[in-house]
Homo-oligomer: A and B are copies of this chain.
Amino acid sequence: MKTRDVALYPIAGPLFTDLYELTMAAGYYRHGLHDQQATFSVFVRNPGKKRSYFVAAGLETVLAEISRYHLTDDQRIYLASLGLFPEEFLDYLGQLRFTGDVWALPEGTIFFPEEPIMEITAPLVEAQLIETFVLNTLGLASLIATKAARCVHAACGRPLVDFALRRTQGQDAGDQVARSAYLAGFTATSNVRAGKRFGLPVAGTMAHAFISAFPSEIEAFRAFVDVFPSNAILLIDTYDTLEGARNAATVGLEMQARGQTLRGVRLDSGDMRALSHAVRAILDHAGLTDASIYASSSFDEFSINALVQADAPIDAFGVGTRMGVSADAPYLDIVYKLVRLGGRDVRKLSPGKITLAGKKQVFRRRNSDGRYREDMIACRAEVIEDAESLLKPVMVGGQPSDTGSTLSALRDRFATEFARLPLRYKDIHRYAAYPVSISVKLQARQP
């Protein structure tokens, strides 16, 4: 499925905004500034203590939304009812469309703090009014893609499945989490709607309720493999995990006798390291060496890594809540700053919140083997030798450019790139500053 299919993205609409975007817009309009060409830059400021890199995501949602910017009559009536806005401004807003240009990192691009991930150039009002949507969307999608990449790295090649839907922060987050996790290397999601929407592989078999619904655990197992003879992963911790493993082995052998294969068992509570070894022994002893052990138990990159380092015989992890809300760092410090207006560079100087003025480009230099060496933030128009430019033109005059990338192509590209990020920046426990410099020209241009 092509990612650039706007029908995949429901319209949030112009009211998905902080009120102050609208009051500012009214102020610009009244004072004739609304049509001045403006550039806003989106970047992540404070990376926190454990994240050295971030993974860009959410671009397609942004482009789908802003290319359809349109105030409905119903929305206009509501705004008028607030008694804040001059009628002339509401007339103007009613006919407004987004006509600007957008440069952005393609989804799945690895980036670092202070680097622009998107720059929007448009008449001031248009660029101002989409701020809230852009921040919300890029923020959530990149937050989760980053968290998921950390989990994938921690798992050292063992497959991960997104189980987060029941505790993501809302419905929209559920789908975005599934998509971002897949982009970052998860193999499947339990979220059926996201599976349909984005063409993601879906996975999952049974919960404790299914076991409880039958008179005994082994009867529940038999009933389940009867319906799903080729996909059954039996949940074995409802009463006692080791007894559950023995029941699963019994059912696995019954399946074998029918020419079927038990796909695996799932652990969901208790000491994962000890239980996985004990369960592996039970399955192996029964000759079910092909039956996999799946585990799901409040996992995140930290607990996954501990089990992998300890050689726990867990074949795949179901990763839920803590990935799905990025529990250790549940938001990105992502901001949207005016950097150029009407031909002059501008910036804000609040303490600790300096912004780089002007239209910019991010350049990446690699070693001869492709590994990342350093980045440079430069003026948009600069030419930097032996470096690739990361920000791409993704929208021109309000029309998204057709990249033709599929989500799985973006996922493959991310995997290739992630392999080229030096290991020390992937440490899940501590921040390491990747070298990002500011070009001499850009420094000289700061007002």
A interface residues with partner B (beta carbon < 8 Å) = 12-13, 15-24, 26-28, 30-31, 33, 36, 38, 40, 75, 78-79, 82, 84, 86, 124, 128, 131-132, 135-137, 139-140, 143, 163, 165-174, 176, 190-193, 195-196, 202-214, 223-224, 226-228, 231, 237-240, 268-270, 321-322, 325-327, 330-332, 334, 336-338, 341, 346-353
Once the chains bind, are A170 and B176 in contact (CB under 8 Å)? yes
Q: Which of B86, B204, B350 contacts A19 (CB under 8 A)?
A: B204
Q: List the B residue with the shortest CB-CB distance to A357.
A: B212
Contacts of A86 in B (CB 8 A): 227
Q: List the B residue with the shortest CB-CB distance to A31.
A: B223
Once the chains bind, are A337 and B172 in contact (CB under 8 Å)? no
Query: In the complex, A173→B268 CA distance in Å?
Result: 28
CB A298 to nearest CB in B, in angstroms, measures: 9
Q: Which of B30, B206, B240 contacts A223 (CB under 8 A)?
A: B30
Contacts of A124 in B (CB 8 A): 213
Once the chains bind, are B325 and A24 in contact (CB under 8 Å)? no
Query: In the complex, A97→B240 CA distance in Å?
Result: 35
Most B C-beta atoms less than 10 A away, residue of A131, A212, A349: A212
Once the chains bind, are A169 and B325 in contact (CB under 8 Å)? yes
Most B C-beta atoms less than 10 A away, residue of A79, A208, A211, A238: A208
Most B C-beta atoms less than 10 A away, residue of A16, A23, A26, A204: A23
Query: In the complex, A38→B214 CA distance in Å?
Result: 12
Once the chains bind, are B231 and A84 in contact (CB under 8 Å)? yes
Query: In the complex, A86→B269 CA distance in Å?
Result: 31
Query: In the complex, A18→B207 CA distance in Å?
Result: 10
Once the chains bind, are A169 and B166 in contact (CB under 8 Å)? no
Q: Which of B23, B28, B169, B213 contacts A170 (CB under 8 A)?
A: B169
Q: Determine how many copies of this chain the complex contains.
A: 2
Q: Which of B139, B205, B212 contacts A338 (CB under 8 A)?
A: B212
Given the known interface contacts A205-B23, A231-B84, the answer about A166 and B136 at a Cβ–Cβ threshold of 8 Å is: yes
Q: List the B residue with the shortest CB-CB distance to A298.
A: B333
Given the known interface contacts A24-B209, A28-B213, A331-B325, the answer about A174 and B350 at a Cβ–Cβ threshold of 8 Å is: no
Once the chains bind, are A350 and B237 in contact (CB under 8 Å)? yes
Given the known interface contacts A27-B224, A171-B16, A348-B212, the answer about A166 and B135 at a Cβ–Cβ threshold of 8 Å is: yes
Once the chains bind, are A353 and B231 in contact (CB under 8 Å)? no
Q: Which of B28, B206, B334 contacts A167 (CB under 8 A)?
A: B334
Query: In the complex, A17→B171 CA distance in Å?
Result: 10
Contacts of A166 in B (CB 8 A): 18, 131-132, 135-136, 139, 336
Contacts of A135 in B (CB 8 A): 166-167
Given the known interface contacts A209-B40, A270-B350, A348-B212, the answer about A168 and B171 at a Cβ–Cβ threshold of 8 Å is: no
Given the known interface contacts A168-B169, A213-B341, the answer about A136 and B174 at a Cβ–Cβ threshold of 8 Å is: yes
Once the chains bind, are A19 and B167 in contact (CB under 8 Å)? no
Contacts of A214 in B (CB 8 A): 31, 33
Contacts of A212 in B (CB 8 A): 338, 341, 346-348
Once the chains bind, are A27 and B227 in contact (CB under 8 Å)? yes
Once the chains bind, are A196 and B15 in contact (CB under 8 Å)? yes
Once the chains bind, are A136 and B75 in contact (CB under 8 Å)? no
Q: Nearest 5 A-B pairs (CB), nearest first?
A: A170-B172, A169-B169, A19-B204, A20-B204, A170-B173
Once the chains bind, are B27 and A206 in contact (CB under 8 Å)? yes
Question: Besides the contacts A15-B192, A143-B169, what 4 more A-B pairs have beta carbons closer than 8 Å?
Answer: A17-B192, A124-B213, A208-B337, A322-B331
CB A246 to nearest CB in B, in angstroms, measures: 16
Most B C-beta atoms less than 10 A away, residue of A19, A36, A204, A208: A19
Q: Which of B170, B205, B351 contacts A270 (CB under 8 A)?
A: B351
CB A69 to nearest CB in B, in angstroms, measures: 14
Once the chains bind, are B20 and A207 in contact (CB under 8 Å)? yes
CB A382 to nearest CB in B, in angstroms, measures: 24
CB A295 to nearest CB in B, in angstroms, measures: 13
